[in-house]
Amino acid sequence: LLCNTLRCLLPRREQWEALCADASLAAAAVEETLRYESSQVSWRRITTQPTTLGGVDLPAGTRLLLNFASANHEPGVFDDPETFDIHRADANRHISFGKGIHFCLGSNLARMEARIVLEVLSQRVPSLELVDDQELSFFPNITFRGPDELFVRWPS
């Protein structure tokens, strides 16, 4: 979440500078990152009973891949979903932490940790930027997304 947040914010200097000017935007920046570039992009599930999903009948035992990344960019839910915007009023409508009985129990801790990191970085190192031309690598799986490492610097 932290790497994805910095990957979204630092290249968009106007949004990073807005956060530096007003640290109270940190919580909104975290929510927008969760919507725009979620760390968890899918779940795998198996139906326990016959059901219909999107007009398709599924027997019990059907294997499903639920794609959060796609749902968090749904134009019927989010205006201009392909734009990262820390001022988005409804960013918290994302489903990056799941929903219902499958909602992540650690979501509040993850949000708080990311918010605090953003508040501190924005106030202490406002010149923070991504290292140019770094090649990001990602662990190869279909459930989680985030770089293995991310290099930043702060010019004087």
Check residue 43 and give its pLDDT.
85
Ranges in the chain, pLDDT < 50: none
Check residue 101 and give its pLDDT.
85
In DSSP terms, 53 is beta-bridged to 56
Q: Exposed, middle or buried: residue 105 (CB in 10 Å: 0-12, 13-18, 19+)? A: exposed
Check residue 70 and give its pLDDT.
87
Check residue 152 and give its pLDDT.
97
